[in-house]
Every structure is written in structure tokens, then in C-alpha cells.
Structure 1
Amino acid sequence: MIKIVDITEEELLPEIFGGKAAGLSILKKQGFLVPDGVAIEAVDSMAYFDQLFQNNLKMQLKRFETEEGYEVAVRSSCTMEDIKCVSGAGKYKTFLGQMSFSEIWKAIEELICGLVVPGTKMGIVIQRFIQAQNSGVIFTSDPFTYEKNKMLVSFSHGLGDKLVSGKLAGRDVTIRMKDQEVMILEGTESFPELKKLCMDTKQLECRLGYPLDIEWAADGERLYYLQCRPISTITSIPSGMLHVDMGNMEKISERINIQDRIDIWKQVLESSIEMPDTYIYIYNDSNHESVEMEWELAKSAHYKGYSAVVLYPNDIVGCHYLGDKTKVRGSISKCCRYGIRAFPQYGSLKECIRNYDTLLGKHSWIGVTMIQETVKPLYTGQIRKIQDGYLMEITYGNFVTKGIVPVNRYMIGLADDFLLKKEVEQTRWYELIEGHIVYCLCNEDSKARTMIPEETIVKIVQYFKPLLETRDWTIEFGIFQNEPENEYQPFFMDLAEQRKEGKLTLSRVSSGIISEGKIKGKIIHIEKEDISLLCENLDNEYEPMVFFAQRPDIALLPLVERCSSKDAAFVFCEGSVLCHLATVLREKRIPAIQIGYYHKGEYAEGKECVVNAQSEYITGRERISVT
């Protein structure tokens, strides 16, 4: 005979009584106030019910009987509803209020006969009807961003059936939980039970280990819990590793919210542009089963280690290089002296990723890490489409975006003609080998100048044109020199979109302008070790300053972030106009120029000078007037 059980007395399993009954059983077991009621075992046909069953059900429902009938709520409890992999929200009707037994029986029949998923069964929950003053749903974590300390509440005055079914727009409140305090981030309306609701349900989430979608009702005296299910938009995301290729693009897109990055990869792959082997690792903190993966990834012929970069949450900084220290020495260029400037923090890819899991799990249910092969290119560079054509910068080794090494600069016109060609000696560079950052100094004068044939520069422009024509962005690329043909092969590394940046033109770049503007200020010469002290001083009020530095090194970023276009300018000897720091200077409209090498005595510390990064018909030192 089909079972009818009291939902307050037994632990109800979803495969026997359905997801909703199981959720109510969890709430009751955890000490939450659940309206009195019964659960009917899940079936797929009304044929399982006979007169004896109906008589038994009438006996169970006597506690809800009134003069007008039964005051109850009849709800679905499908075996494929309110579980981790699927919510089933809104698929089945809820019946509320005064009903006769025949009306209750008709509601049961409608739910069972209305099964929409083949192979599933329908359980039934019948509970005491709550005359609510306020009711609604609460998400114990953000179902859209996966944040753990952010809760969403949607409520209405009175019954919440129309809100839950989507027929009525609720009053929405966004909550931030911090140190057991409830802070309203968005929404102006509230209700008396809000703090208790948030505190209690967040504690339940912590005990169960997964985010919850909970339906509730308050009658003015007590707070009742009507439903408890996992937030399936989070709990249904599988953990695992996916290789970035066209076959996996849809899978990656379905699982995680990194659409900008996915769009970039799609364009690269559709344009048949080469890129290092890349993997996406997804970690779901609500999935407590151990995720067994093959950590020995397939390696390409150019493999020299891995980089692991956190993509989501995007406010968590995580970037590490990994590799085998025993293979470093044999991979360093023979024509140079070298010193290792940084060592891998982790001994293996698995150790790094597991550490990321712990870090990300403190903030978010879902963490996404990009794992990419690091390679040893002969050159790296950046290219960007500008008003007059294409601006390209190239250097030996890696880290061209950091602004820490000399670069060759080329401007190629729209007709593939050379508008600018400035090649410099590159006696120092950095290589990334097996997770180690290696500083190299050239031993051979003949190797000091980067000599790339002009036809190769034009081919690089043609190679990346499909990407450059679609949006305003700067592409970072590498170049292999294939043996024995001695051919140059470019490949995609990364890109950055330019948003609020000032315009770059041939005349501005060739005349030394990095970022436009004009300012008068006191001369300050910067060494790397001075940056922290300068930042502390800038936190207080100060007069306008002109900072002189060797190159637009990324180490200057904390200083630049404290400056504005009204109180600072930067003067560099050399360096990139496409590097990250140069881009930030343009975004902030801070005047910046390159003037070539100089002696500090020419621009004495403490004196005032005017930096003119506006006029196009002066160059180099003509842009500085010492007063």
C-alpha cells in the first residue's frame, strides 16, 4: 500500500517521497518551524490508490478539518523537483485554502496526471494552510553571482503563491551578511522577520554545505518554512576540467559566467589563430564528492610549464606560474647570462589548484581558473589598431605588457606600408621557464638588436586583422622561430579591451606622447624602492608633481592609481606605449611622455617644470620646460 507519513516524524528521501517532502524533512530535522502536514509516497499513476488509501488519507487529514471542509495547502513533490541538479520551480500548481475532500482528491489527481518528465514519479505534500501577513522566498546566496555573503529576498504582503509562481512581482531586498550582521544593500522595504529569516537560513546553509532557495510565511506571531531546496543554478554546475576548443565552447558557456572570455576564445579559434593549450577548471564548493581528475595534462611541443589564473570571482587575484625546476637550466638561451628572479610558489598544478579552491570557497560557491601552457617564444609583442593603421611593439622573451624591457616599435599603414620603424638594442629581457622568471643579459652584441624582416611584421598584422577589426583592443602575442626553415610563427596570448582611453596616433607616438595633457609641477625622480613611501605621502594633500622614471614599469601602478590628471605627470626615458601602465595613464588622462636618456642633473629634484604632452610639433626634451 502507498505510504502516507507525517512530515514531522520521519526522514523523507527524495527518491521515495519527492524533493519537496525531503526538503521539509530537512527543515524539521534542523529545528525550523514547518506547518503540520503529511507526505504521500511518489507514484506515476492514480491506479495505485484504492478506497482503503482514501479512507486512510481522510483519517490523516482530520486535524485540518473545519466546518467548511479542510484548510490546507496541496503541493507537488516530484522526484525530479527541488533537488541539486534541477529545481522544477513553477512546473506544477499549488492548491491553497478551504477545500472539500473531493477537491483535495481532484488536486492530487491533477498533479499526478500532470507529470511532465518521463520516468519520474509524483509525491504529494498536504499541510496546514498558513494565513500569512508576509510571505516570500529567500536565496541564502546570490544565485546569479554565486557570492556566499550576499542574500536575495523577495516578499509580498499576504499569501506568496502568486509571487512564487511568477504571476506577481515581489518586493526585492538584497542583503549583505558580514560578521553576523544583516545589511540591506538594495531595496527600501522590509518586514519584522527579515533579520531572523536571514540569520537562521544562513546558518542552515552553513550546516548543510550548499546554497538554499527557501519559501517562508509569517502570520504576525511565528515564522514558518514552507519549502527548502538547493539553488540548482549553483548546485547543478559540475566540477571538472575542460579543454578550450570549439567542441567545448558550448559546455563552458552553459556552466559558468565568463562570457567575455568565451567570446574572445571563439573569435580566436574561428579565425584559425594559434594559441597555447588552455584549460578551464571549474570548482563547485557545494559538491562535496571528491573530484578525481587527471592532473597530467597533454603537453604540446612548445610546453615550458603552466600558468594558473583565477577568472571567477573576478575580484579575487590569483596568478601563479608552475613547472619543473630540474628543466630550467637546459631551456635558457645560450647567448646570455642569467639570474632567476622568481620561483614557483607551488610544487605542482594540483597543489596550486587545491589552494585556489580553498581561497575561492571562502567567497563564492563557484570558482573558475584558467590553466594555460607557458611557452618560450623568441619574441613577444603587442599590436593595436589606431587611427593611422596598426601600432606594434616587440621585445625578446616574455612580459612585454609589464613595461619593464626595451621594445621595438613599428607603425604599419592601412596599405601595409611602414609609417614608423624604431628598433633599439635589447640587451636584457625576461623569460618564463617552468614557472621560473629568468632575467637574461645578452653576451653577444650581434644578438642585442631584434631584427625581424619587414615582410614578417606585415604578416603579423595580417594574421591578427580578424581580431583587430572587430573591437578596440590590444592583442598580446608571441613569435616562434621554426627550425630549420627559419620561419616566424605568431600566436595569440591575450588581449585587453580599451575602454576610456585617449586616442593614439602616429604623430603623437612618434613625437613622444604616451598620454595627452599639460601640467606644471615639482620634479621627483623615482626609484622602485621609493614607491611605497611616495604612495603614503600622496594619501595626504600635496602639490602637483612631475615624476621622472626609467620606463613605464608596472611597479609604478600603485603610484599612478593615487594620481589624477590635475596633480601629476610622468616622464620616461624609454619603454612601451602599449603596456599596461601606459594604458592606465591614458585612461586617467595623466600627461606622460618619453624623452630618451638624460642626466638627473638636467632636471634637478625639487625644481618646477612644465610637461607639454599636447602640442604635436615638438618632440622629446622640447616637451619639458624647467622653471
Structure 2
Amino acid sequence: MISGPKGDRCMEREYKIFGCHEDIISADEIGNKGYYLSKIMGKCRVPEFIVLGADIFIQLLRLKENYELQKKITVAFINKLGILKELPIIQEQVMNMYIPENLKKQILQCISQNGVHEPFAVRSSTLKEDGENASSAGIFESYTNVGIEDLWEKIKKCWASMFSLKAVCYESMNQPIERDDCKMGVIIQSYKVGIKSGVIFSLNPVCPENGMLLEMVDGNGEKLMSGDCGATEMSLGFYNESINKCSKKQSEVWIEELMQISDSLRKEFQFETDIEWLITEERVLNILQCRAITSVEKTKKTEWIYELNEIDKINMREAGAQVKFIEKCKRKRLSLYVACKEAGVPNLKWFFIRYSDQTDVMELQNKICKECGNGYFAIRVNDMLTDFQCKGDQLAKMLLDILYITEMDCLTVSLNYIPENQFSVISSLDSVTQTVRIECVPGIMKGLKTGILVPSTYITNEEDEILSENREYYKECYALDFDMDVFYLKKYEQRIPDLSDAVRLISKYTRKLSEHFINGDIEWWICNDKVYASDYSLELNNDNKADENVINGIDTWISFGKVEGNIMLISYEEMQKLDKVSHSKAINADLCEENIHRIEVIDYLLEKARKRKMDFGKLVIGAKRPCLGLCPLIEYADSFVFEEASKLCHLSIILRERKIPAMKIGQDFKKLEDKKFYEI
């Protein structure tokens, strides 16, 4: 996570810059492109290069001179739709960012020591490009024939390309977009002038049976890579057959050498290779880049439905760029399924579906609805495109809509069945007191997890008897408009009913599942008086004193520690805007304009908190509830106080994990005055 601005001491820090002959242990240090270049150095002729470490951009953001840029990126990533509107501003600020003189000096020294000479080729190198499952071809920027006077500008342009529209949209399709992803190595390489250049594929991606494929043009290969000109194409066969397959004209020494290099690197990296090459005026073969061919096996237009107990049947090669998402989803869903099965706990049905634009989606819909009955479904494509919700009889249409939105002809998605629930519940076992805390709200889970609704609370003992209960009166609850695909608050107007039987059952089940999920919070749905486990999350720092205090009549602490400092109160109007940020949906493009205005309140509060922190030192944030929209203020807050609070909502969990003191103080909250010092 990007932290706050640092002082002048950061100006003299050392930045990691790697020379072409260094042994790079991991691609995490410099990105995939730089990593593979370092691995082929010495095995074939590669123009000299250096690589700026992938963390340098993050280091520069932490400098006080780049604070405004850091803040802009931080705020934009809070709301993943808002970032689309902010991209041009972020890119402009990146181009104007401050690069300290000691870094420029270090880069120039490294260039000289490694024999890199003008003109330069300046290329991006991230973990999101040139991977085995996703190439990100053309997504980030590279520049050739760069003079020393333009070097700093081109480096910044590479960094700025992380925030281009095509980069953000492509990443959202393949992996989650997070603030920690603002990492990019930058390759500075000697630029060679060629008489011929091109690419060689170790296996023809369209007709694998034809073996190697060579494409080349006269001169340098920029036009070939951009698709601006036609290329000469040669089908070379497989390496062992090359001499027989090639005509006399094709059997020049450099072609045979190129085929040998391609075959050798294929064996070393254990994937089919796509190699960029160049022949200099001295007729010397140079390798410019090596990456995996991500489309060797054309995606099959197949479809299948697997339940969690059949999850190992999934062919991960078919998953393509979605493989990391599916692996992550598999691990979590399968662990919940196994735990529920062993403990005899009912859980919601989960499926993985593979389908394409040629699939009979109505047949898929009928199969799934026959298995589950009437109800609703939530579809997850990846960690950004999530919570597509629809009724059972609209599932086929929704699947086709997702194909259209993602512009993919074949997808693997995670699908879970949602019976129409009456109440959403989160439970947590205290490992010291062996009490179970159960929080419940009417309607869907979002009202509880975002902290917008105050939950009704129950504490049970080891015999699953209710020790204490606090049933709230609700005027509204969260619901989902499946036709409009948006969350909204609807009228509820009643105290939560007596849920004693369900609470005791959830308490019993929580104890069983906690044998699998230590310090875990387990999510439940109560549907037609039946209880279903729906999800779980692990809490990294669970305070064991909390529920012991509840038993003793003290229900104040959310996260233990000393609450003291100058208080910054969040107004009612600000809380309303933060609530909207907390429950907005990242997939609904129609809300983009509205969401960008919602970010303004976060930007305003961040600046206000920063100034208060500078003026008064220790800062206490005071708010009516721990809504998720307050999360950005953690950067400056030493502690939090709330009028009312859920202890199991997202923000409360984050505060405990960060060990930031927080408590709820009830009616005493109304006695607090802004800008006053308090010690609680």
C-alpha cells in the first residue's frame, strides 16, 4: 500500500537498478520483460541494458514533492470506476513528477558501467505483461531511438502508461486492480539499427502442426510490431527438420541460428516462445525480447458446469488469462465446501461455468435452475468484475451480456446460488472466552459488511446459550434491484424478530467451522428460517478481550489501545456521501459520473485530516458509524471513535488488523466537539 509523504531523508535513498549481467532471482524485482532478458543474456547476443527496479515508482510517490500525485492515485483506486475519469489527470501528473538528482545520477552511472550507449530503447517491464497466461501485448509503452536529452521524459511515459485507459481496462479483465500494482520496471537498452528484423514463434500459434513461424521486415521492426506494414512470413517446420524444410535461400546461417536459439529457450523456460530479433549491418543476430506465446492453444469453444466437489476437473489451460483468479477462487470456495461437509453445516451452492458465444446458454440456465430451484445468482468474472446479480430466469441473458461487456468469446466464471434471504449474519468465535459473537441485519449482507446498518448483536456461551442480545429497530434495510442491478435501501420499519433458534444454530455451526478457520469471521444467510454458510474471511489480529467485556456489560472496544488526540468529526452530510461510496457498485458503468463526484468527499477529508495531523499531532477520527468509506483516513488517524458500531464489519476488522485503537461510546459521542483534545 502507498504510504504517506516522507521527509528529506528519502532524498538520499538508494534505488535498485540492475545491470544486464546481474543474476536476477525473481521477476518481482524488475517485471517479466526485464527478467527474461536477464536470463537469456550470455546464452545469445543481447544489446546491453539496465533495468530500473519495479519499486522505484512507488519510492518516488512517497517523496513529499510527489505527494499530490500519490494522493490522486490513492483516492482513485478507492473507487474503481472513478479511476476511469481520473486517468488523464494522473497521467499528466506522472509526466510532471519529481525525479531526484541522485536517482538520475545513479541511472547514468549504471548506464556507463554496463556499456549501454545512445541512442536508447526505453521499454516497460511489469509483472502484468509478457506472462505465461497474459501477454498484455501493446498495453504498456516502449520507445526507440531515444537520445539522452529525452531519456527522463520517456521513462515517465512508461510509468504513465500504467494509467492509460487500455491498461486499466485490460488489467481489470485479467487481474484485480489495486494500489500495490503501481509497480513497473523500465528497461534502458542500447538501440540497434537493423537491416532485417522480426519475430520467431517456436510454435505456429494458428497452425501448431507447421512448427516454427518466422515473420520479418527490412529495417527495424517497430512497424511490424505495431501492424503498420506487411511482413514476409516463413513456415520453418520443427527445429530438427529445419534444414530439410527450408529452401536454399532461407537456409542462411542466421535463420538456423535463430531456430536453434528459439528451440533452446523453449526448453529452458518450458513454454513456447515469441522472440523479437534483429540483424545488424554487420550481419550479427541480436535478440531483443523473449516472452511466452499465450495463444498456442486456441481457446476451445467448450462448456462445462462443475460444482465445488468436482473442482479438480477444471482444465486450467483453458482458463487462459483468468487462471490466477480461478485458482484463488477455487482455494477459498473449496476450503469452505470441505469444512462445511466435514462439520455437517449447510452451505450455498457454488459452480464454475465455462461457456462461449457458441454455447446454448438457455440449456445452461435450465440445468442450473433445475439443480438449485428458483432464486437468484451472483456471477464473478474476476476480482473487479464481480457481483453481477440476476434472477434464475434471466441467467442466460446475463451470461451473454457479460461476454459482450468483456469482449471475450469464451469465459470461465464463478457462480453462486442465492436464495432470497431474510437476514444476513456474521459470526466470530473468541478463542479465549469461547463465546461466539453474532451480528445480524435484515436484508442482504452489504448493509452489515459496509457498516452502514447497526447490527443486532448476540453473544453465546460454550453451550450455545444466549448470554446477551441487543435487537435493533430498523427503519430500512439493504436490498438489490435485480432488474436495475443496483443496491438500494428499502423501508423495513420493525425491530428484528426473535431469532433465538437460528442464533443458537449459528453458534453451534460456528464452533465446528472454527476448527478449520482460526480467527475467521463466517458469513451466514437466514432464508425461510433455514441457516446457510455463505463465505468466510480470516482476521489477522483478533482481540480476545472484546467479548469478555461484553459479558461483563462493557461493549465499547472495537480495537484495543489508547484513544487520545485532537478529534476530527465527520459531519452528517459527509457520512451520507461516504455511505454512498461504501455501497456503490464497481460494475455499473452508468454510475461512473455519479461516483466521480463521490470521490470528492474523500479527497476533501484526506486533505483535512492531513492538515489536522500536521497542526495537532495525534488525530482521532469521530464518526457515527464505521462505514467502509472512512478507510482512506486510516493513513492519518491514530484512533477512531464511533457513536454506534458493528465489530465484524469490514472497517472494524481492518482497524484491528492495523492495531489502530477504536471504540464506540454511544450517546457520549454527541458531547464531542470538533478540534478539541480528548483522552478516552
Among 435, 447, 450, which residue is 1:402 paired with? 450
Among 232, 235, 240, which residue is 1:94 paired with? 240
- The one-letter amino acid of 1:266's match is L
* Contact map agreement 1:360 1:367 (CA 8 A) in 2: no
Give the match for residue 337 of structure 2: 269
Among 9, 19, 39, which residue is 2:209 paired with? 19
| Alignment pair present for 1:235 and 2:298 | yes
3-state SS of paired residue (1:462): helix
Among 567, 570, 579, which residue is 1:522 paired with? 567
What is the CA deviation profile of residues 392-416 of structure 1, one whole-angstrom value per residue up to 9, with x for unaligned ones?
Answer: 2122222232222232223334454
* Contact map agreement 2:208 2:296 (CA 8 A) in 1: no
Which structure is higher in strand share? 1
* Contact map agreement 2:301 2:410 (CA 8 A) in 1: no
| Alignment pair present for 1:561 and 2:632 | yes
Structure 2 Cα separation of the partners of residues 233 and 412 of structure 1: 57
Structure 1 Cα separation of the partners of residues 315 and 256 of structure 2: 43
Give the match for residue 457 of structure 1: 503
Structure 2 Cα separation of the partners of residues 357 and 267 of structure 1: 29
Higher relative contact order at CA 8 Å, sep ≥6: structure 1 or structure 2? 2
Seen in structure 2, the aligned counterparts of structure 1 residues 253 and 34 have a Cα distance that, compared at 3 Å, is closer
> Which is greater in Rg?
1
3-state SS of paired residue (2:458): strand
Structure 2 Cα separation of the partners of residues 502 and 359 of structure 1: 43
What is the CA deviation profile of residues 58-85 of structure 1, one whole-angstrom value per residue up to 9, with x for unaligned ones?
Answer: xxxxxxxxxxxxxxxxx53xxxxxxxxx
Among 229, 233, 253, which residue is 1:130 paired with? 253
Give the match for residue 478 of structure 1: 525
Give the match for residue 574 of structure 1: 644
Structure 1 Cα separation of the partners of residues 651 and 305 of structure 2: 33
Structure 1 Cα separation of the partners of residues 286 and 231 of structure 2: 8
3-state SS of paired residue (1:570): strand
* Contact map agreement 2:361 2:396 (CA 8 A) in 1: no
Structure 2 residue runs without a partner (length 5+) = 1-202, 218-223, 579-599, 614-618
Seen in structure 2, the aligned counterparts of structure 1 residues 391 and 583 have a Cα distance that, compared at 3 Å, is same
Q: TM-score, normalised by structure 1?
A: 0.54
Structure 1 residue runs without a partner (length 5+) = 1-12, 40-74, 77-92, 97-103, 109-123, 137-157, 173-211, 325-346, 482-487, 611-623
- Superposed CA RMSD in Å reads 4.6
- The one-letter amino acid of 1:385's match is L
* Contact map agreement 1:395 1:408 (CA 8 A) in 2: yes
Seen in structure 2, the aligned counterparts of structure 1 residues 34 and 434 have a Cα distance that, compared at 3 Å, is closer
Seen in structure 2, the aligned counterparts of structure 1 residues 165 and 413 have a Cα distance that, compared at 3 Å, is same
* Contact map agreement 1:304 1:433 (CA 8 A) in 2: no
Give the match for residue 506 of structure 1: 547
Give the match for residue 63 of structure 2: none
Among 403, 406, 416, which residue is 1:357 paired with? 403
Seen in structure 2, the aligned counterparts of structure 1 residues 426 and 498 have a Cα distance that, compared at 3 Å, is same
Give the match for residue 99 of structure 2: none
- Give the percent of matched residue pairs that are identical in Structure 1 and Structure 2: 15
Structure 2 Cα separation of the partners of residues 609 and 227 of structure 1: 60
Offset at 1:520?
A: 0.5
Structure 2 Cα separation of the partners of residues 252 and 410 of structure 1: 44
Give the match for residue 542 of structure 1: 611
Structure 1 Cα separation of the partners of residues 438 and 626 of structure 2: 17
Structure 1 Cα separation of the partners of residues 466 and 376 of structure 2: 36
Give the match for residue 513 of structure 2: 467
Among 408, 412, 416, which residue is 2:460 paired with? 412
Structure 2 Cα separation of the partners of residues 574 and 371 of structure 1: 35
3-state SS of paired residue (1:562): helix
Among 534, 537, 559, which residue is 1:493 paired with? 534
Give the match for residue 365 of structure 2: 296
Give the match for residue 371 of structure 1: 415
Seen in structure 2, the aligned counterparts of structure 1 residues 414 and 261 have a Cα distance that, compared at 3 Å, is farther
Structure 2 Cα separation of the partners of residues 461 and 423 of structure 1: 17
* Contact map agreement 1:323 1:433 (CA 8 A) in 2: no
Among 149, 163, 188, which residue is 2:265 paired with? 163
* Contact map agreement 2:336 2:536 (CA 8 A) in 1: no
Which structure is higher in helix share? 2
* Contact map agreement 1:515 1:589 (CA 8 A) in 2: yes
- The one-letter amino acid of 1:474's match is D
Give the match for residue 485 of structure 1: none
Among 235, 242, 250, which residue is 2:313 paired with? 250
- 1:197-346 correspondence to structure 2 within 5 Å: 213-215=273-275, 217-221=277-281, 231-232=294-295, 235-236=298-299, 240=303, 242-251=305-314, 255=319, 256-257=323-324, 258-270=326-338, 271-272=340-341, 273-282=345-354, 290-294=358-362, 296-297=365-366, 298-299=368-369, 303-310=374-381, 312=382, 314=383, 316-323=384-391
Q: Bigger shift: 18-27 or 250-259?
A: 18-27
Q: TM-score, normalised by structure 2?
A: 0.51
Among 415, 428, 431, which residue is 1:384 paired with? 428
Structure 2 Cα separation of the partners of residues 31 and 534 of structure 1: 51
- The one-letter amino acid of 1:543's match is R
Seen in structure 2, the aligned counterparts of structure 1 residues 562 and 365 have a Cα distance that, compared at 3 Å, is farther
* Contact map agreement 2:204 2:296 (CA 8 A) in 1: no
- The one-letter amino acid of 2:361's match is M
